[in-house]
Every structure is written in structure tokens, then in C-alpha cells.
Amino acid sequence: MVVLSGDSPIPLGQLPPDTIRLAYLSVGETEAQSSTWRAVKDQSFIVEPNPNWPGNMRVDIRDERWQQLLLRQEVPRLLTMGFDGLMLDTLDTVPYLENKDPARFAGSRRALADWLRALRRAAPRAVIVANGTEALIDAAPFVDGFVVEGVFAMYDFGRRVYRETTDDERAWKLGVVSRARSVAPRPVFSIEYADIGDIQLGRWAADQATKHGFRPYVSVKDLNVLP
């Protein structure tokens, strides 16, 4: 299974024929480098920047304009390119905003579930995996797999270091995965983060993920090197 951006220089036809080819689609954020930025940069559904990723802007999923841009423009464009399905990213923006300001963003999680239901109706045969934590519980009925980042090894944006997750961090993520799987049993793919050369951390995280029944992938935070 390979996840590529819609403007990837890697031709899909060069991948082995049995590869599951998924297109990256950011649902809860947009960025200045995206193909849709010019059309959305001044819209009211742009909420705030994501400080961890310069150039990324959080989006209000409840806005019909954003929903339809994804559903009627981006999804068909990606699937027409020959992708087998989608990897949905930044879903956690939705519960983050609703938890941060419940009055302002009330109904965001319900809107996400409704959008995912519409996506599944529009692309019933597409392979869809969702990347997140708390949002996976809302996504579970509509997707084919879960992706969880930094379950055992993570990049700490505050301290700017790669490290093992704490017991509390790990327990919370494992608990969210368990809740999501209780809604819909799906395979879990974990992305673990270790610095280049830190073989010990990477191997330990991959081993722990495997012991929990996950399918691990180990890389650096920018996901620009192979395991």
C-alpha cells in the first residue's frame, strides 16, 4: 500500500500491479501549495494556521463550500488519475476545533460523519483509510482502515526531538483505537517516528506496534525517507 500526493512525480503505472495506490487528501486543513488554495484562501471557512506545519490552515468542515469542493472536485480528480482510493488526513482538526471552542464549532464531528457518509456513497468501491485519533471513532463506519501516528515513537514538536511516547500518551492513543475498532473492526496502520540513525527507537516502536496487531511504518516527521 502506497500513499502519494495528487501531484507526485512517481507515475502510478510504475508501481507493482498488486500495489494498493492511495491518494493523499487533507480534509481538515488546506495549504498554500495545494491546487485549491487560490479558490479558498479568502473564504470564511479558513479558521486558523496550524503552528506545527507552516503554510497549513485549519478548515471548518461544516461549511458546504469546502465539503463540495472536496467531494465534487478533488475526490473525482484523484480517482480519475488511477488511484485505488484515498488516505484521508487531518481529520483530527475536527474534534480539535469542537473541543477548543464548543460553542463556535458545535456540530463539527457530526458534519464530518455526514461528509464521510456522502464520500462513501460517491465512491463505494474506493479503498479509504483514515488518519487520526479521536476522529477515527466518527470515521469508523465509512472507512476500510485506520492510520495512527506516533503510537510508540513520535516527533515532539514542542521539544523538537524524536522520543518514545509516554505511558499516558500511549494509553490514550491505544484507547482511541480500541474504541474505533469497537465501532468497526478495521486493520490499523501505525506510523512511528524516529530520527535517521536511531535504529533502536525505530525497531522498538515497530516491534511494539506489531505486538498490538498493527502494521507499522517507521520514518522521519517529513515522511521523505524510506524506513
Specify which residues 58 forms β-bridges with. 29, 48
Residues of the chain with pLDDT under 50: none
- What pTM did the predictor assign? 0.94
Beta carbons of 108 and 62 less than 8 angstroms apart: yes
Name the CATH superfamily housing domain 2-219. Aldolase class I (3.20.20.70)
User: Rounded to whole angstroms, how far apart are CA atoms 170 and 12?
Assistant: 35
Instruction: Quick: pLDDT tens for 185-207.
Output: 999 999 999 999 999 999 999 99
**Residue spans per domain, the chain:** 2-219
Longest CA pairwise span in the chain (Å) = 49
Instruction: Quick: pLDDT tens for 3-34.
Output: 999 888 888 989 998 999 999 999 999 988 88
Q: What pLDDT is stored for residue 115 in this prediction?
A: 98
- Report DSSP state, residue 165: P
Beta carbons of 88 and 139 less than 8 angstroms apart: yes
